[in-house]
Chain A
Amino acid sequence: MSHSMAPPDTGPVPIVAHPGRSDRTPAIEVRHLTKIYGQRGGAKGWSRGKGAGATHKPAAKDVEFTVGEGEFFVIMGLSGSGKSTVLRMLNRLVEPTSGEILLDGKDIVEMADPELRAVRNRKINMVFQHFALFPHRTVRENAAYALHVRKEGAAARTERANWALETVGLGEWGDSLPGELSGGMRQRVGLARALASDADILLMDEPFSALDPLIRRDMQELLIKLQAELRRTVVFVTHDLNEAMRLGDRIMIMRQGEVVQLGTATEILESPADDYVREFISDVDRSRVLTAGVVMQPPIAVGRPGDRPSKVLERMNRPGAHAQGAYVLDADSRILGVVEGEAIAGAVHRPDARLEDLARPPLGTIRTETTLSEACTLVGGDCVPLAVLDHEDRLVGVLPRATLLQAIATPAASTLEGDRHHA
C-alpha cells in the first residue's frame, strides 16, 4: 500500500521542491550564523589560555536559513537548543560571534548603532515570552512605543496605537495599565506594540508559552487571522511542535545549536530527518497537520460516461480501490456523480443502461488542503471512498477510511520504512 505517496498523474501536490529554500522573495537570509557565549573580542580574549574554544559549546553553530517575504517561519527546539539565541541574533539583541544576517540584502551584523536602532525601530519588531510591557505606561502608550521612540507626534501615535489595539481586540483598553490586564490580554498588547510600528518582520519569542492552553489557542487563532490579513514576515520560536505545525509555513528544528531539519510540517511528518525528530513528531496530533492531498490514494473506481458497466465493476474490485461503488467523471475529471455497486452490477446485462443515468451526487467531498481531522466526519459515509478535489474541482484522489486511520496513527519507525519499500 502506498498511503504516503500521491500518484504522479493525479494533479499537483503541494510539496516545496527545496525544503531549505522558500520560493518567495527572501526577507531574511542567514548564513553561517554562529554564537559562542563567553567569548569576547575573538581570539584575543584572556580566556584563550584556558582553552576557551573547547569549553564553550556554541549556542548556535553554522545556522543557515532563508525566510521569504510574508512567510511564517517557525524555529522549534527544546530549551538549550539555541532557538532563542538565533532569534535574538536576528535583531542583534544577541551579538553573533560570526556569520551574516541579510535583511533585504543588507547585513545587520555590520551595522553601526544608529542604523541598527533605526532598523529595530522600523523594520524588525519583537514579541516577548513574558510580554515585557512597560508596567508604568498605559496600554496605549505601550502599543505606541516604537512611534514614541521615533518621536512621532501625539496624534499619529494615538491613531496608530488605537488601530493596533483594535486589530488585536483591545480597542477599549487603551487607558488601562498592563497590570490590570490578564495574561492573554497583555500578550495582545505585546502583539499590538509590534504591529503598530509597521515593521515588515516580526520576531516572536515563545509568545504564547506563558499562557494557559485555552488562551494559547485563542492567541494562535488570532495570529493566524492577523497573518492572513497583514502578511508580515514572521519568525516564531516555540518548543511546542503542535504549535509549530499549526502556525508555520516552514519549520526549522534545532538541537544543541544545530539545525536538524528544515521543511514544511508535512515534510517533517512524512520524512523525519533522524530519531530525534521522529521522537518529537510522535507527540504531534497528525490529524491536524496532515492534509488530504498528502495521504490521498489514486482514484481507481472511476468510470466515464459511456464506459461499459462490466469494466467499471472490474476496476471497483481491484485491490486498493476500497469501493462499493464508483465515481462517474466527465472529461475534465470533475465528478458527475456516484454509482453504487449494486446498480452497476444490475446494469451489466442491460446494454441500454448508461452509467451517468445511474449516478447520484456524492455525500461529500473535500479538498487537497483539508486536514485529516476535518475529513474525519465525512470519511466512510458513502459507498465510495471520500473524494479529494483540487482547486478546479477535479478529482485528484480519494481518502479511504483505512488510509485515514493509518495516516493518523503514529507510525513506528519500522512500519514507516516498510511501507516505503512496499510502495
Chain B
Amino acid sequence: MPEIDVGTPVSQLVDWLTTHLGPFFDAISVVMLALLDGVLYLLTAPHALLMTVIFAALPLLARRWGLALFALVAFLFVQAMGLWVETMETLAVVLVASIIAVLIGVPIGIWAARSRGVSNVVRPLLDFMQTLPVFVYLIPAVFFFGIGVVPGVMATVVFAIPPAVRLTELGIRSVDEEVVEAAHAFGAKPGQILREAQLPLALPSIMAGVNQTIMLALSMVVIAGLVGAAGLGVVVVRGISTLDVGAGFEGGLAVVLIAIYLDRLTGAFAESGGSLRGLMRRRPALLPEATASTPSAIAGPTS
C-alpha cells in the first residue's frame, strides 16, 4: 500500500490560512466579541432577580405554567450557587452561536430541500462536522482566533449547524406534495410557494431543528471552556483541574438546568408551530409531534 500523507497538507493549509488571512480572522474576532458583549450586557445589566422573572415569564407565552415555575426555581438556585454571571456568559455564548448556526443552517437546509445535488453534497459535509472530534477543529480555531471566547463560539457553531440544516430539509421535503402542487396549480411563483406554503408547513420541523441546535451548542460550552471561553465551562474545567469535584458539579448542574429550560422552552414553541398565531389558538398538530428530545439524549455524542 502506498502511504498517503493527509496530515502535512492540512497543517500547511492551516499555517497558510493563519499567515495570509490573519486580518480577516481578526475582523471576525472583533465582530464576534462585540456581539457577545452586547448580548451579555443585555443579560447582566438588569438585576438578576428581574432577569429571573423574565425567564419565568417566557414559558407563559406558550401557556406552560409548569415550566415557568421550573424556571423561577432553577434561576434562583443558580444565583444561590453564586454562578449567575457564569451562567449568563454561557447563555450569551449559546445564544450567539445558535443564532449564527440557524442563520447559516436554515438557508442551506432550504437550498438542499430544493435541489438533490446540493443535498447530496451537503449531507456528507454535515456528517463530517458532527463526527469529527471537536478538538480537531477547536485547536485550529485557536490558531485563527486566539485564546478566548471566539474560537469556542466558532467551534460551537460548526458543531450546532447540522441539525438546523437536516431538520429544515426534512421539514420542507415532507410538506404534503399535493399542497405544493395546489400552490403551483393556482399560479403561485416558486418564491411565494416557499414563503406561503413550504416554510410555514415545515415550521414545526424547523423549530425542532432550532431546538436541537441550541442543545448541541449548550453541550459544547464546557469544551469551549478549555480554550478560554468564559462561562460555566470555565467553572467545570477549573473544578476538574483542581480536583474540586464539588465546584465542578455545581457548574455542571447549572448547565443541566439551562439545558432543560432551553429545551422545554424551544420545544413548546416548536409544538405550537413557532408562530404567535399558533400560540393564540389551539389546533391539531400539522406534523406528527415535533421531536423534542431531552438534553441527555443530545449530550450523547460529545461526552
Residues on A close to B: CB < 8 A? 91, 93, 117-122, 125-126, 128-136, 145-146, 149-150, 177, 179-180, 193, 197, 203
Indicate if B284 sits at the interface (CB-CB under 8 A): yes
By a CB distance below 8 angstroms, the chain A residues around B182 are 126, 128, 132-134, 145
Indicate if B192 sits at the interface (CB-CB under 8 A): yes
Q: Is the CB of B186 within 8 A of A120?
A: yes
Specify the main secondary structure of chain B where it touches its partner: helix
Q: Residue of A at shortest CB range from B190?
A: A113
Q: Is the CB of B181 within 8 A of A128?
A: yes
Q: Which B residues between 149 and 196 are near A, CB-CB below 8 angstroms?
A: 176, 178-179, 181-189, 192, 196
Q: Is the CB of B200 within 8 A of A121?
A: no
Given the known A-B contacts A125-B186, A128-B181, A146-B186, are A177 and B176 also in contact in the complex, defined by CB atoms under 8 Å? Answer: no
Q: Is the CB of B283 within 8 A of A177?
A: yes
Residues on B close to A: CB < 8 A? 176, 178-179, 181-189, 192, 196-197, 200-201, 273, 275, 283-284, 286
Given the known A-B contacts A130-B178, A179-B283, are A136 and B200 also in contact in the complex, defined by CB atoms under 8 Å? Answer: yes
B178 touches which one: A119, A122, A128, A150 (CB < 8 A)?
A: A128
Q: Is the CB of B189 within 8 A of A133?
A: no
List 5 additional contacts besides A130-B176, A149-B187; criterion CB under 8 Å.
A91-B185, A122-B187, A126-B185, A134-B197, A180-B283
Q: Is the CB of A150 within 8 A of B187?
A: yes
Q: Residue of A at shortest CB range from B196?
A: A134
By a CB distance below 8 angstroms, the chain A residues around B187 are 117-122, 146, 149-150
Interface centre among B179, B184, B186, B196 (most CB of A within 10 A): B186
Listed from nearest, the 5 A-B pairs whose CB atoms lie closest are A121-B187, A132-B178, A132-B182, A120-B187, A126-B185
Measured in the bound complex, the distance between the Cα atoms of B192 and A119 in whole Å is 17
A187 → chain B, closest Cβ, in Å? 12
Interface centre among B179, B183, B201, B286 (most CB of A within 10 A): B179
By a CB distance below 8 angstroms, the chain A residues around B183 are 134, 145
By a CB distance below 8 angstroms, the chain B residues around A203 are 185
By a CB distance below 8 angstroms, the chain A residues around B284 are 179
Measured in the bound complex, the distance between the Cα atoms of B187 and A203 in whole Å is 14
Q: Residue of B at shortest CB range from A116?
A: B187
Q: Is the CB of B178 within 8 A of A129?
A: yes
Measured in the bound complex, the distance between the Cα atoms of B184 and A82 in whole Å is 21
B116 → chain A, closest Cβ, in Å? 13
Measured in the bound complex, the distance between the Cα atoms of B187 and A117 in whole Å is 4
Q: Is the CB of B185 within 8 A of A149?
A: no
Q: Is the CB of A197 within 8 A of B181?
A: no
Q: Residue of B at shortest CB range from A117?
A: B187
Q: Is the CB of B179 within 8 A of A149?
A: no
A161 → chain B, closest Cβ, in Å? 13
Q: Is the CB of A135 within 8 A of B186?
A: no
